Amino acid sequence: MARPRKSEHASANAKLIDAFWTCLEDHRLTDITISAITKSAELNRGTFYYHFRDIDDLTARAIEVEFNSQALLPGIFDLIAGAPGSITAIELIQQRMQRLSLLIDRGGLDVLSMQIKRLVRQT
């Protein structure tokens, strides 16, 4: 099987991460399956395993994407400082905070806290 091109790689990766968040809206973290994720992303199981080892790997990457957004931290600092932020940045921050709150609500507090600690250590 041929490897996907770089643009396909990024697109499939993003689709799988988005599908993870979509599945999390309806299910607890422990109830999410690779089949549900690949079905939601409209990709096959092999594509999942090309990008991620398992659901834990996908979860960690999804959290990392939420925290490492170019607009997330600067936007939060602008809000704290009272600087006038763009509506787009505020909406992005709200979406990311909602996703992380959803993860906590669906049983992912331990996963989230471990990932935050890892990201802080890297920073």
Q: What are phi and psi of 92, to 5 degrees?
A: -65, -45
Cβ density class 22-49: b for 16+ within 10 Å, e for less: ebbeeeebeebeeebbbebbebeeebbe
116 confidence band (pLDDT: 50, 70, 90)? confident
* Tokens 């600067």 -> residue: 74
67 confidence band (pLDDT: 50, 70, 90)? confident
- Which pLDDT value is given to residue 36? 98
- Which pLDDT value is given to residue 121? 82
- Which pLDDT value is given to residue 3? 56
Residue 74 has pLDDT above 90, yes or no: no
**CATH class for the region spanning 6-122:** mainly alpha
47 confidence band (pLDDT: 50, 70, 90)? very high
Is this prediction's pTM over 0.85? no
CB 43 within 8 A of CB 35: no
Closest CA to 69 of 37, 33, 93, 44: 93
The DSSP string of 71-91 is: THHHHHHHHHHT----HHHHH
Judged by DSSP in three states, 17 sits in helix
User: Mean of the pLDDT values across residues 82-87?
Assistant: 61
